[in-house]
Amino acid sequence: MVHHEPAADLHPQVHTHGDVPAEARAYAVTKVEAALHHAPGPVLRTSLTLDSVAPGDRVDAHIDVDGVGVHVHAVGQTMQEATDLMQERLRSRLRRIRRRPAQGPHPPAPTPAPVDDEEDGEVGPRADG
């Protein structure tokens, strides 16, 4: 499989709600960019929302990986804890996309082939031996 690096000039758009320190923004950007090194295709768009107004500190990440939308969020006691949880979830989601690149509804399960019945009509394991 070909490993795709995220575009070097593609920095996440960062939105904040409430009093979010610059260090927390920088930390979140660093963590999401590190997770994107595991992306199974080109990263077309990345946005982060850091919310200190909601109950608990919350971090949301919206990523477009080669046309596949990925959204993860996490809530923590601190913005750093929420960011670390978001990074863990994002890495996990990106690994799942790599293992199963075809997104969307699963195709219907194939219909089992008819079984050739023995002359006596029984189906199952043979008693040879």
Distance CA 63, CA 36 (A): 9
CATH class of 13-99: alpha beta
> Is the pTM value of this prediction over 0.95?
no
Query: What is the pLDDT confidence band of residue 5, given thresholds at 50, 70 and 90?
Result: very low
- The answer to whether the beta carbons of residues 72 and 97 sit under 8 Å apart is no
Render the burial of 80-99: b for 16+ CB within 10 Å, e for the rest.
Answer: bebbbbbbebbbebbeebee
Tens-digit pLDDT profile for residues 103-129:
444 445 556 555 555 555 554 555 555
Q: Give pLDDT, residue 105.
A: 45
